[in-house]
Every structure is written in C-alpha cells, then in structure tokens.
C-alpha cells in the first residue's frame, strides 16, 4: 500500500473518490466474471475428461481391429489396400464466445461422393473393414475433444489474466486510493485548522 503522488486539494480528493468508486465497482464485476469463468471451466474440464476417456477406448478398439487384420493378412496386401484413400473429410471452422473468449468451433460438412472403403471387399480381411469403420466414427469425437481441450486452455489463460486484474485492483489500486484519500483529507483538515488559528490571531490582534 503506497500513497499516490498528488496535490492535496479538494479537486484531487473528488477525482480520487470517483476513481475509487469506479475501481470498487470494477473489482466486483471482474470478481463475478472470474467466478463464473471458473465454474464454466470446471464443467469443461469434466467434459474433456469424459471425451478423452471415450476417445481412447474407441481408438484402442480400432487399433485392435488393425492388429487382427495384420495378423490374418500380409502387411504388403494391407498397405496396398489403404495406399490410395478415397474418403475425404471437409470441415468448417468458426468460433463461439464463452464468457467473452472466442473459442474455436469445428463442424464436419457432409460429403455424398466419398467412399469410405477404398478397396474391393474380397481383397482384404473383415478386420480391416472394422478398423477403418471404427476410425471413421472416431473423427467427430476427436474434433469434439480437440475443441474442448482448446477451449479449456484458452479459458484457463483468460482466468489467469482476469485474476491478475482482480488482484491488482484489490491489493494495489483500491488500497492506494484509500490511503491517498485519507492523506488528502488529513491535509485539508490540517490546513483548515491552520486557517482558523490564523483568523483567531488576526481577530485577537484587532480586538487588542
């Protein structure tokens, strides 16, 4: 807590009182915003944990299907079958606002002409078909997980930034204003008492 370097005048006192009022109001608004951001952040963290667990389970299931395909067919035949993929994924990237923070939003655009399996079915084992189908179903889940994780990171940065502002107001700006206002009021009272003493001396000099 430090006193600001200002002149102890009534005009400065009025200006500092207005500044203190604004700082107190801003502190309350930022504190409320920070609390709400933390609440939404915790909800996103729980959602991120759930999505990551489900995604890892589905990915492990797809990888098991690929391992079975490699065990029942030659690696060269599998590589030849998937060397030229015919399936394409089109995405649309936008943004949405979460407590004033613009977080990414990605949606998969439907495509009618793509064929999921780029080979003839009799040329490979059924396990490869299962693995590719499971991976295809995993695309939307991976995008959703990426969005939630990015939103969590961006919201965490904004929470930290907002908390620094709250702390600056609470521990620096507001105490400094209060200390300076107290100092100016003390100085003004002291000047007023000095003026009264001088007037009393002048008055007593005239009376004598």
% the chain with pLDDT above 90 = 39
Question: 36 with 161: CB under 8 angstroms?
Answer: no
- pLDDT for the residue 10: 87
Q: Is residue 153 part of a domain?
A: yes
Q: What is the CATH number of the domain that holds 168?
A: 1.10.287.3240
CA 65 – CA 47 distance, rounded (Å): 27
Question: 173 CB contacts (<8 Å, ≥6 apart)?
Answer: 23
- pLDDT for the residue 121: 58
Burial class from Cβ neighbours inside 10 Å (0-12, 13-18, 19+) for residue 20 reads: middle
CA 205 – CA 208 distance, rounded (Å): 5
CA 8 – CA 14 distance, rounded (Å): 11
- pLDDT for the residue 115: 64
The answer, yes or no, to whether residue 189 has pLDDT greater than 70, is yes
- pLDDT for the residue 93: 85
Number of H helices, E strands in the chain: 4, 2
Read off the pLDDT band of 96 (50, 70, 90).
Answer: confident
Domain ranges, residue 139: 10-200
What is the pTM (predicted TM-score) of this model? 0.74
Mean local confidence (pLDDT), 30-37: 92
- pLDDT for the residue 177: 92
- pLDDT for the residue 162: 93
Q: Is residue 37 part of a domain?
A: yes
Place of tokens 């009534």: 10
Backbone angles phi, psi at 73, to 5 degrees: -145, 165
Q: Is residue 17 part of a domain?
A: yes
Q: Is residue 82 part of a domain?
A: yes
Average pLDDT, the chain: 83
**Which of 104-113, 127-136, 156-165 is predicted with the least confidence, judged by mean pLDDT?**
104-113
Q: Is residue 45 part of a domain?
A: yes
CA distance readout (Å), 75 to 39, 71, 121: 50, 9, 17
Q: Is residue 3 part of a domain?
A: no
The helix/strand/coil state of 93 is: strand
Q: Is residue 77 part of a domain?
A: yes
- pLDDT for the residue 123: 62
Q: List b or e across 122-136, with b for residues whose CB sees 16 or more CB atoms inside 10 angstroms.
A: eebbebbbbbbebbe
The answer, yes or no, to whether residue 151 has pLDDT greater than 60, is yes
Q: Is residue 5 part of a domain?
A: no
Total structural domains in the chain? 1
Read off the pLDDT band of 89 (50, 70, 90).
Answer: confident
């Amino acid at each position: 807590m430090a006193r600001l370097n200002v002149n102890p005048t009534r005009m400065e006192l009025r200006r500092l009182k207005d500044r203190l009022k604004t700082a107190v109001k801003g502190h309350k608004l930022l504190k409320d915003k920070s609390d709400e951001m933390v609440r939404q952040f915790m909800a996103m963290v729980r959602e991120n944990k759930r999505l990551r667990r489900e995604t890892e389970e589905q990915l492990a299931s797809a990888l098991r299907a690929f391992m079975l395909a490699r065990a029942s067919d030659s690696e060269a035949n599998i590589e030849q079958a998937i060397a030229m993929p015919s399936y394409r994924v089109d995405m649309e990237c936008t943004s949405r606002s979460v407590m004033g923070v613009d977080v990414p939003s990605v949606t998969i655009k439907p495509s009618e002409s793509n064929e999921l399996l780029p080979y003839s079915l009799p040329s490979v084992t059924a396990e490869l078909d299962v693995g590719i189908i499971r991976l295809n179903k995993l695309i939307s889940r991976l995008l959703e997980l990426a969005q939630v994780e990015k939103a969590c990171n961006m919201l965490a940065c904004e929470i930290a930034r907002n908390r620094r502002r709250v702390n600056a107001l609470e521990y620096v700006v507001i105490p400094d204003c209060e200390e300076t206002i107290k100092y100016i009021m003390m100085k003004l009272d002291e000047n007023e008492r000095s003026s009264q003493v001088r007037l009393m001396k002048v008055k007593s000099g005239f009376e004598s």
